[in-house]
């Protein structure tokens, strides 16, 4: 446990050493941003719309009382989407999509001696391979979370239009009612933390892969599983600390 933690911290320290040439690293960051950001847009859009819609329908069902104003469903859907559904569910999905890709990509480079080739050239391999992925994750995962929030709330509105359980106008009133900006802060902190966890944990498991194709698969699995556990743990810590 402490051995793994120590190795992880050392790897992160090496990852943020001064780059050999900034322009080469910058090109890698841009490539990763396209891969992580644009590549994940489809899956994030689909899950966000559906989760937003389902959350709204369920809240409407649970609060179906003449004593409770219908607009409250909008407020609850907004808070749960911004606080939990968009950052956490998106992060868990992205751990599968981005995390497994990172771990298997770096793991394959390790077992096919591509990392050795980089080291022989004098390249700081953790810096070249890991830091662009982390920087991209730190910027793209919050952006994807913002998109997820917008689409999740749009999904809730769509559910109101289609199901007629709540009047769409009431849903919009609920969205705007008693809004506390702190929930946006929590959402932003979570998405940045989750971005770091997904990219760094999966990079770690990929980087220390040894063996062959079987071990690359195992590294990807371990990366995703540990990322998910750490995401849920960080979720609890951040929520209980800030709220």
Partner 1 sequence: MIETQSVYKKFGDNEVLKDITAQFRPGKNNLIIGTSGSGKTTLLKCIVGLHEPTSGDVLYDNQNFTDMHFKERVHIRKEIGMLFQNSALFDSMNVEQNIMFPLNLFTDMSHSEKLDRANFCLERVNLAGKNKLFPSELSGGMKKRVGIARAISMQPKYLFVDEPNSGLDPLTSILIDHLIAEITQEYNTTTVVVTHDMNSVMGIGDHIIFLYDGKKWWEGTNKEIAHTHNKELNDFVFASSFMKAAREKL
Q: How far apart are CB 97 and partner 1 at their closest, in Å?
A: 18
Question: Which CB sits closer to partner 1, 26 or 233?
Answer: 26
Residue 233 engages partner 1 in binding (rule: CB under 8 A): no
Residue 229, CA distances (Å) to 189, 203, 224, 233, 236 in order: 17, 16, 9, 6, 11
Q: How far apart are CB 122 and partner 1 at their closest, in Å?
A: 3
Which sign does the torsion angle of CA 15, 205, 141, 231 carry?
negative
Give the x/- contact pattern for partner 1 in 99-138, rule: CB under 8 A: ---------xx--xxx-xx-xxxxxx--------------
Which region, left, alpha or beta, applies to residue 69 given φ > 0 means left and ψ of -120 to 50 means alpha?
Answer: beta
Q: How far apart are CB 131 and partner 1 at their closest, in Å?
A: 14
- What token pair was written down for 193? 């933390």
User: Rounded to whole angstroms, how far apart are CA atoms 99 and 194?
Assistant: 11
Residue 21 engages partner 1 in binding (rule: CB under 8 A): yes
Residue 3 engages partner 1 in binding (rule: CB under 8 A): no
User: Rounded to whole angstroms, how far apart are CA atoms 84 and 210?
Assistant: 36
Q: Which residues bind partner 1 (CB under 8 A)?
A: 20-21, 24, 108-109, 112-114, 116-117, 119-124
């Amino acid at each position: 446990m402490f051995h793994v933690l120590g190795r992880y911290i050392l790897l992160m320290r090496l990852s943020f050493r001064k780059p050999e040439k900034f322009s080469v690293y910058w090109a890698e960051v841009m490539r990763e941003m396209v891969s992580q950001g644009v590549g994940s847009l489809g899956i994030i859009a689909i899950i966000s719309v559906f989760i937003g819609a389902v959350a709204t329908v369920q809240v409407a069902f649970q609060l179906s009382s003449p004593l409770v104003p219908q607009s409250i469903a909008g407020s609850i859907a907004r808070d749960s989407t911004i606080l939990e559904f968009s950052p956490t569910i998106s992060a868990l999905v992205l751990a599968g999509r981005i995390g497994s890709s990172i771990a298997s990509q770096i793991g394959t480079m390790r077992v096919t001696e591509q990392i050795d080739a980089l080291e022989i050239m004098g390249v700081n391999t953790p810096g070249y391979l890991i830091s662009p992925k982390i920087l991209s994750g730190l910027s793209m995962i919050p952006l994807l979370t913002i998109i997820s929030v917008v689409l999740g709330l749009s999904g809730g509105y769509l559910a109101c239009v289609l199901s007629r359980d709540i009047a769409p106008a009431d849903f919009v009133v609920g969205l705007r009612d008693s809004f506390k900006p702190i929930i946006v802060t929590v959402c932003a902190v979570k998405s940045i933390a989750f971005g770091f966890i997904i990219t760094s944990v999966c990079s770690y498991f990929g980087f220390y892969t040894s063996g062959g194709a079987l071990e690359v698969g195992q590294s990807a699995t371990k990366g995703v599983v540990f990322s998910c556990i750490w995401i849920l743990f960080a979720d609890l810590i951040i929520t209980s600390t800030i709220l």
